[in-house]
A and B are shown apart, each in its own frame.
Chain A
Amino acid sequence: MSTTTATSARRVGARSSRALGGVVAHVTLLALAAFGLLPVVVMVLTSFKPADQIFRIPATFLPENPTLDNYVRVFTDSSMPAALTNSVVAGLLVTVITLMLGGTAGYAIARMRFPGSGAVAVGLLLGQLLPVTVLLLPVFQIVVALDLIDTIPGVALTHLTIVLPLVTWMATTTFRGVPIELEEAAMIDGCHRLRAVWSVVLPVAAASIAALAIFAFIQSWNEFVFASVITRSLDAKTAPVALTDFAGQFEVDWGSTTAAATVIFLPLTIAFLLLQRYFVRGMSAGAVKG
């Protein structure tokens, strides 16, 4: 008798605390979304304003006579379409290389206790700590020496500097977090280590690896400083650099800049929306049993 009421009381208590938690969670998410979207909304709305309305005082939120002129200009009379393609290709190239090199190195450091692994890990990290400003000239000279100026592989190479060490570190952490028993179980069953990793470890770490892939891609996508000196023509110009094409010495075409910026982030957001399933919660739930 009393046990049932106690349990049901606890369940009710649990349910209301869950509801409260839910409210807090949603409020947090809404606040974050507002914070995150506000300048972006300003940007998008500006892209629909004709040039003379952009700096109207007092500031108007919504465009009075919305126009598509800026977008037309971006698509027909600018370097943006080509630059977007370049950014996507460069980003994919960087992501693939980083996952392969960083993933394998991360696994090696995490699992194979080879002498000097600590030094390697730290050494990789050291390069990451240097500010871009200092790396600019030396990396540029390497790209010149390899004859990769104004090419997408050249851009991808420079992006490795800012992406590879971090991905290696994070991969190490990820693999360390996967219980070693999984691979051992698979290997006892006769698998080679590679097969064991492929079929057992990677699925468990999928969410983290997907996160690393996204990290690598976005870092490459956003990168401006290296790209601005490595690229010279539409052959390799990336999106962030192309954005500055609308800025002259004296005036900036803000309508086109904001339209182009919208064209940059919107498809990417949609792409990530579609890739969300790799973050399904509880994917690893079945892993550690017995």
Chain B
Amino acid sequence: MSTIAGARPRRARSRAARTARAGWLLSLPSITVMVLLTLAPLVSVVIGAISADGWERLQQLIEAPGFTQTLRNTAVWVVVGTVGSLLVGLAGALALQHPTVRLTGLWRSVLLIPWITPTVVAATAWKWFYSRDYGLLNALLLEVGVVDEPVSWLTNTSIALYAVVAVHVWATFSFVMLMTSAGLAAIPAELYEAARMDGAGALRSFLSITLPSIRDILFIVTLIVTVWTLNSFLPVWIMTKGGPAGATNIVPVQLYQYFQLGDRTAIYVLAAFQLAFSVAIAALYVRQTRKEDAA
């Protein structure tokens, strides 16, 4: 940022004040909208959760059978879902950048399709795909001879969760790819040229040019994908409803069940729970960017 060395003359001070005011004015519409829409629910969640009823309900929830399983599943869901989405999206973005790839527009449009398909339909299509009796996946595997018997993708307690996570990765990797792609496009080609002149190989260029340039966008994309994954209930809801035997039950799915039942206290408690995690992750991110700004 530009700085004026030495003492600031009065003109510069009032200019700074004007800039500050302008900054606030420009942000005000956004803030107003978001405050109106989210402050009240945020407050009611927090109040509802820390009230006496809230503590009691929290106790009930923790003691209910299957709670540990739900927590464990949620952890797996968030980690595998986020990392999977990032890796796949990044791979796609990098592949698109390669100079030998023509028709990048076509590739990009095709790879956007998972994201454009409404979740409700996509989850249903995947459910069929995974179906023990009608599923194409089993039909293919049986045909090729990889397996002898149809696999119970959605009803085997050990693999059901991963089967559904794959659907979540499928639905979100396009976003990662899109954002990273935009970031990659902003890297001037000359930097790579210069590196090549200096004898750097592909890996070295990647590590010292590509990654640092997209670090900012990667951070925020990671944050967004993590929060999405944490809040995502539709794929599980449509494909397994939390089964079999609770193997795919995750916190957001439980939350939605309570919503349908109208159980307000449980909603507040569970939402506060989820929120705490999201806030922790967001805090990490904010601290990271603050550190960079200072540097």
Stretch of B58-66, B151-159, B178-186 with 4 or more beta carbons under 8 angstroms from chain A: B178-186
B126: CB under 8 A from chain A?
Answer: yes
Residues on A with beta carbons closer than 8 Å to the beta carbon of B185: 207, 279-284
Complex CA–CA separation, A61 to B133 (angstroms):
13
A1: CB under 8 A from chain B?
Answer: no
B220 with A222: CB separation less than 8 A: no
Residues on A with beta carbons closer than 8 Å to the beta carbon of B33: 101, 160, 164
A58: CB under 8 A from chain B?
Answer: yes
Stretch of B4-12, B68-76, B101-109 with 4 or more beta carbons under 8 angstroms from chain A: B101-109
A120 with B31: CB separation less than 8 A: yes
Residue of B whose beta carbon sits closest to that of A171? B30
B275: CB under 8 A from chain A?
Answer: yes
B202 with A17: CB separation less than 8 A: yes
B27 with A29: CB separation less than 8 A: no
Complex CA–CA separation, A231 to B189 (angstroms):
48
Stretch of A63-71, A73-81, A130-138, A147-155 with 4 or more beta carbons under 8 angstroms from chain B: A130-138
Interface string of B115-147 (1 = CB under 8 A from A): 111111110111011010111100100000000
B13: CB under 8 A from chain A?
Answer: no
B38 with A135: CB separation less than 8 A: yes
Complex CA–CA separation, A116 to B129 (angstroms):
50
User: Which of B1, B106, B231 makes the CB contact (< 8 A) with A131?
Assistant: B231
B30 with A208: CB separation less than 8 A: no
Residues on B with beta carbons closer than 8 Å to the beta carbon of A112: 19-20, 22-23, 26
Interface string of A109-126 (1 = CB under 8 A from B): 101111111101111111
A127 with B134: CB separation less than 8 A: no
Known: A32-B111, A104-B26. A129 touches B275 (CB 8 A): yes
> What are the 8 tightest A-B residue pairs by CB atom distance, in nearest-first order?
A127-B38, A276-B105, A112-B23, A22-B100, A114-B23, A129-B278, A114-B20, A25-B98
Chain A residues at the B interface, C-beta cutoff of 8 Å: 10, 14, 17-19, 21-22, 24-26, 28-29, 32-33, 35-40, 42-43, 46, 55-59, 61, 101-102, 104-105, 107-109, 111-118, 120-139, 142, 157-158, 160-161, 164-166, 168-170, 173, 176-177, 180, 184, 204-205, 207-208, 210-211, 214-215, 218, 221-222, 224, 239-240, 243-244, 257-258, 261, 264-265, 268-270, 272-273, 276-277, 279-285, 287-288
Chain B residues at the A interface, C-beta cutoff of 8 Å: 1-2, 19-24, 26-27, 29-31, 33-42, 44-45, 88, 91-92, 94-101, 104-122, 124-126, 128-129, 131, 133-136, 139, 170, 173-175, 178-179, 181-186, 188-190, 196, 199, 201-202, 216-217, 220, 224, 227, 231, 233-234, 252, 255-256, 259, 267-268, 271, 274-275, 278-279, 282, 286, 290
